[in-house]
């Protein structure tokens, strides 16, 4: 076996980065909330993990100044005293990856959260260091290699069924190339060796440093959409598989509801949901609701394709900082197996606030709004881990990680640093609007301020219907025109408009109310497949054409816009799923007939 990494992995299947055993035991000299300083740690490097105090709280070195190591502690430091010991581990913060991740509920540093109290708080004992993955479960290993096969990093060794719908693929660890010398099919725990490569045992679990992106063969262009099931997003502002989107919105505008709708209904194979600094009760809703829901595509329980990372507002702030790296590392791990993964982060503002708090305790020079000067670099480091890729190794496969980050700017002010910096990085901007949410127009995505940079028309025209892109452009232009006309109406009244403009106004109303509005709490309408969406747009478009031709025949505009049949547009969302095209044809015909009878 040839090792291309710097040193041999110390544990079967472990990967990436050298492991040093240090015997350093330092001593706490200063405590400032989650930031602790210690001396006597001469061999410690930046980002090494430490265990702090007699309770062995988990921490990470974030600054070294002379002989003082400064660390952020991921647990509550209440009661910690100067003089307590600090144990250096000589390792960075790792994610433990392997079968058993799906369906799990983890804290920001990937510790499984066991209990959920009645008031919605999630607890884990201080200093607890439970195994990240269950060591007792036996998984049915099905080999994909035989003795004598030559294997390279990322190559498929075999798989285990994880839940009903996911085949968890076990890949050759990074840094290992060689010939298979033993294969052990059948039940195995994650630590049992399942394959030997050049005589060295390889188990199913892998370790990977959280803050380091996992390697890929190639990055691919983003040409396939992640269908969200939300009409406004799929039609007007689609996100690509492997792309990124941000959802900025003021208090109560619907960020969490939208993130959760995407987690439930988007066409991702795997969802990693990071609840970062949000209220405990919001996460409790997720924890209670997800296990009850079925995946709309496979029928299997939704939790079986979901990993939840919970770091609520009452949990230590530094763990919040780590939580999005835990999330993205797990997302990349499933991407490497050839899956399309969606990662939701709610909210990145709370993550930024954690950075700000730690930075201020480090007494760093504050930049804009008190955030550290490296805020933009950190955000970029996160969003850059989104992508569609050709995975390493054989057989050839592609995978993707799509990131959707909620942003909660104070007072809904989009000019603040987190929104502005995220805006530069994300390909989609789904701006939530306080005025729309006050009118109970949900999702409260503002169609005039939002955008998508992904060119996905070709895919929609090919896969859904060749009239998709012309109709999308027509709908966007109609909404824009209606917005401008609304301003005239608010000043001069509807009578000031020409008859043709009043048709534009009525069509704009249909687009807003009958198409873009979509309640997440309506079982029939919470998710809308693109075929139904296209049929709905077609009908509204044809209604506009029928109204214009009635006007040309000399029919009075008031009679046209007041035609009773137009109320039927509001019932399109209730069309039976198996009969959408027939329902659309019938409604278009009825509208045309009623318009010609005027």
Ligand X SMILES: Nc1ncnc2c1ncn2[C@@H]1O[C@H](COP(=O)(O)OP(=O)(O)OP(=O)(O)O)[C@@H](O)[C@H]1O
In the annotated binding site for ATP, the residues are 249-256
**Could you count the other beta carbons within 10 Å of the beta carbon of residue 219?**
11
Q: Choose the binding region for ligand X from 117-125, 249-257, 286-294, 490-498 (rule: CB under 6 A).
A: 249-257
Residue whose CB is nearest to ligand X in the complex, by number:
254
Instruction: Compare residues 450 and 501 and give the one whose CB is closer to ligand X.
Output: 450
Is there binding between residue 521 and ligand X (CB under 6 A)? yes
**CA 128 to the chain's CA centroid:** 28
From 89, 110, 284, 520, residue interacting with ligand X (rule: CB under 6 A): 520
Tell me how far, at minimum, the Cβ of 537 lies from ligand X, in Å.
Answer: 19
Could you tell me which stretch among 221-229, 247-255, 361-369, 448-456 binds ligand X (CB under 6 A)? 247-255
Q: Is residue 312 a contact residue for ligand X (CB under 6 A)?
A: no
Burial of residue 230, with CB atoms counted within 10 A of its CB: 0-12 exposed, 13-18 middle, 19 or more buried: buried
> Which residue, among 536, 542, 516, 545, has the nearest Cα to 577 in the 3D structure?
536
Nearest CA to 215 among 425, 52, 392?
A: 392
Helices (H), 266-397: 280-289, 317-336, 348-361, 375-383
* 266 near ligand X, judged by CB under 6 A: no
Whose Cβ is closer to ligand X: residue 37's or residue 312's? 312
Under the binding rule (CB under 6 A), the answer on residue 242 touching ligand X is no
Residue 513 binds ligand X, judged by CB under 6 A: no
Q: Which stretch binds ligand X (CB under 6 A): 118-126, 246-254, 527-535, 555-563?
A: 246-254
Least Å from the CB of residue 443 to ligand X: 4
Tell me if 478 contacts ligand X by CB under 6 A: no
β-partners of residue 219 are 389
What is the chain's length?
598
Residue 346 CB, nearest distance to ligand X (Å)?
A: 7
Binding region? 249-256
Closest by Cα among 50, 56, 126, 63 to 91: 50
3-state secondary structure of 282: helix
**Residue 123 engages ligand X in binding (rule: CB under 6 A):** no
Residue 390 contacts ligand X per CB under 6 A: no
Report the chain's terminal Cα–Cα distance, integer Å. 83
Buried-exposed string 155-183: b where 16+ CB fall within 10 A, e elsewhere? bbbbbbebbebbebbbbbbbbbbbebbeb
User: Between residues 17 and 352, which has the closer beta carbon with respect to ligand X?
Assistant: 352
Distance of CA 108 to the CA centre of its chain: 15
* Residue nearer to ligand X on the CB measure, 200 or 264: 264
User: What is the nearest approach in angstroms of ligand X to the Cβ of residue 229?
Assistant: 11
Shorter beta-carbon distance to ligand X: residue 526 or 565: 526
What is each CA distance from 145 to 200, 254, 315, in whole angstroms?
A: 15, 48, 45
Residue 378 Cα to chain centre, angstroms? 17
Does 280 contact ligand X by CB under 6 A?
A: no
Q: Measure the CA–CA gap between 277 and 313, rounded to whole angstroms.
A: 4
> Is residue 254 a contact point for ligand X (CB under 6 A)?
yes
Strand 166-171 and strand 105-106: the pairing is unpaired
Q: How far is the CB of 228 from ligand X (least distance, A)?
A: 12
CA distances from 453 to 47, 220, 234 (A): 35, 16, 13
Q: Is 351 in the site for ligand X (CB under 6 A)?
A: no
Distance CA 551, CA 161 (A): 62
**Counting contacts by CB under 6 A, is residue 348 touching ligand X?**
no
For residue 405, state whether it binds ligand X (rule: CB under 6 A).
Answer: no
| Region binding ligand X by CB under 6 A among candidate stretches 140-148, 155-163, 245-253, 571-579 | 245-253
Residue 438 CB, nearest approach to ligand X (Å):
10
Least separation in angstroms between residue 285's CB and ligand X is: 9
Q: Which stretch binds ligand X (CB under 6 A): 130-138, 244-252, 289-297, 411-419?
A: 244-252
Q: Is 255 in the site for ligand X (CB under 6 A)?
A: yes
Among 252, 296, 381, 465, binds ligand X (CB under 6 A): 252
Choose between 412 and 544: whose C-beta lies nearer to ligand X: 412
Does 253 interact with ligand X (rule: CB under 6 A)?
A: yes
Instruction: Tell me: does residue 419 bind ligand X (CB under 6 A).
Output: no
Per CB under 6 A, 412 contacts ligand X: no
Judged by CB under 6 A, does residue 519 bind ligand X?
A: yes
- Residue 352 interacting with ligand X (CB under 6 A): no
| 336 cis-preceded (ω within 30 degrees of 0) | no
Contact between 442 and ligand X by CB under 6 A: the answer reads: yes
Under a CB-based contact definition with an 8 Å cutoff, are residues 257 and 271 in contact? Answer: no
Q: Structure tokens of 374? A: 């490296």
Say whether residue 262 binds ligand X (CB under 6 A).
no
Is 446 a binding residue for ligand X by CB under 6 A? The answer is no
Please select the residue that binds ligand X; options are 59, 92, 443, 544, rule is CB under 6 A.
Answer: 443
Question: 468: closest CA among 479, 480, 456, 478?
Answer: 456
Q: Is 251 in the site for ligand X (CB under 6 A)?
A: yes
> Contact 309/116 with Cβ under 8 angstroms?
no
The Cβ of residue 491 has, within 10 Å, a number of other Cβ atoms equal to: 8
Nearer to ligand X, 123 or 251 (CB): 251
Q: Is 306 in the site for ligand X (CB under 6 A)?
A: no
Rule CB under 6 A: choose which of 408, 501, 527, 588 binds ligand X: 408
User: Between residues 253 and 398, which has the closer beta carbon with respect to ligand X?
Assistant: 253
Report how many residues bind ligand X under the rule CB under 6 A.
Answer: 14
**Which of 334, 343, 301 has its CA nearest to residue 169?**
334
Looking at the Cβ atoms of 272 and 516, the one nearer to ligand X is 516
Strands (E), 200-288: 200-202, 206-209, 218-220, 244-248, 270-276
**Nearest distance, CB of residue 33 and ligand X, angstroms:** 24
Task: Say whether residue 399 binds ligand X (CB under 6 A).
Answer: no
Alpha-carbon span 207 to 308, nearest angstrom? 19
Q: Near ligand X by CB under 6 A, which window of 33-41, 57-65, 416-424, 518-526? A: 518-526
Tokens of residue 346, six digits: 């709610």
Any residues with CB less than 8 A from the CB of 403 and at least 6 apart, and which?
244, 245, 328, 343, 345, 382, 383, 385, 386, 426
CA distance 204 to 202: 7
Between CA 33 and CA 141 the distance in angstroms is 46
Q: Which residues of this chain interact with ligand X, rule CB under 6 A?
A: 249, 251-257, 408, 442-443, 519-521
């Amino acid at each position: 076996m040839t090792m291309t990494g710097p040193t041999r992995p110390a544990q079967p299947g472990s990967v990436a980065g050298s492991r040093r055993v240090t015997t350093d035991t330092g001593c706490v000299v200063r405590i400032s909330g989650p930031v602790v300083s210690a001396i006597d740690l001469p061999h410690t490097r930046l980002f090494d993990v430490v265990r702090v105090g007699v309770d062995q709280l988990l921490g990470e070195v974030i600054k070294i100044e002379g002989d003082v190591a400064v660390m952020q502690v991921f647990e509550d430091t209440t009661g910690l005293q100067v003089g307590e010991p600090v144990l250096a581990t000589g390792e960075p913060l790792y994610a433990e990856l392997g079968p058993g991740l799906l369906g799990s509920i983890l804290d920001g540093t990937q510790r499984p959260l066991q209990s959920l109290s009645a008031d919605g708080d999630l607890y884990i004992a201080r200093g607890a260091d439970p195994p990240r993955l269950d060591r007792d479960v036996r998984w049915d290993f099905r080999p994909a290699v035989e003795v004598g096969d030559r294997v390279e990093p990322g190559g498929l060794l075999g798989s285990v069924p994880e839940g009903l719908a996911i085949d968890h693929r076990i890949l050759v660890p990074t840094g290992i190339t060689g010939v298979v010398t033993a294969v052990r099919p059948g039940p195995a725990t994650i630590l049992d060796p399942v394959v030997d490569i050049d005589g060295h045992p390889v188990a199913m679990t892998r370790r990977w440093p959280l803050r380091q992106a996992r390697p890929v063969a190639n990055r691919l262009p983003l040409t396939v959409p992640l269908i969200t099931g939300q009409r406004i997003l799929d039609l007007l502002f689609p996100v690509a598989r492997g792309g990124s989107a941000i959802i900025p919105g003021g208090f109560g505008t619907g960020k969490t509801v939208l993130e959760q709708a995407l987690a439930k209904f988007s066409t991702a194979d795997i969802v990693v949901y990071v609840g970062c600094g949000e209220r405990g009760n919001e996460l409790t809703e997720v924890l209670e609701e997800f296990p009850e829901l079925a995946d709309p595509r496979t029928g299997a329980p939704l939790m079986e394709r979901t990993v939840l990372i919970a770091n609520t507002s009452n949990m230590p702030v530094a763990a919040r900082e780590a939580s999005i790296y835990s999330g993205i590392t797990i997302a990349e791990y499933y991407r490497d197996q050839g899956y399309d993964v969606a990662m939701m982060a709610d909210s990145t503002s709370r993550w930024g606030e954690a950075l700000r708090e730690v930075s201020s305790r480090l007494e760093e020079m504050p930049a804009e709004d008190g955030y550290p000067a490296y805020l933009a670099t950190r955000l970029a480091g996160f969003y850059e881990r989104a992508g569609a890729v050709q995975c390493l190794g054989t057989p050839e496969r592609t995978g993707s990680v799509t990131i959707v980050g909620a942003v909660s700017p104070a007072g809904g002010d989009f000019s603040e640093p987190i929104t502005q910096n995220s805006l530069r990085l994300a390909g989609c901007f789904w701006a939530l609007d306080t005025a729309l949410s006050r009118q109970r127009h949900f999702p409260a995505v503002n169609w005039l301020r939002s955008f998508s940079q992904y060119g996905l028309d070709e895919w929609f025209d090919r896969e859904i219907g060749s009239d998709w892109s012309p109709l999308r452009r027509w709908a966007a232009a109609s909404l824009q025109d209606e917005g401008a006309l609304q301003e005239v109406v608010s000043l001069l009244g509807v009578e000031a408009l020409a008859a043709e403009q009043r048709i534009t106004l009525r069509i704009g109303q249909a687009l807003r109310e009958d198409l873009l509005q979509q309640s997440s709490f309506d079982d029939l309408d919470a998710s809308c497949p693109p075929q139904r969406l296209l049929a709905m747009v077609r009908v509204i478009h044809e209604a506009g054409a029928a109204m214009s031709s009635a006007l040309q025949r000399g029919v009075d505009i008031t009679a046209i816009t007041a035609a009773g049949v137009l109320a039927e547009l509001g019932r399109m969302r209730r069309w039976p799923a198996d009969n959408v095209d027939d329902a659309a044809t019938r409604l278009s015909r009825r509208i045309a007939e009623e318009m010609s009878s005027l």
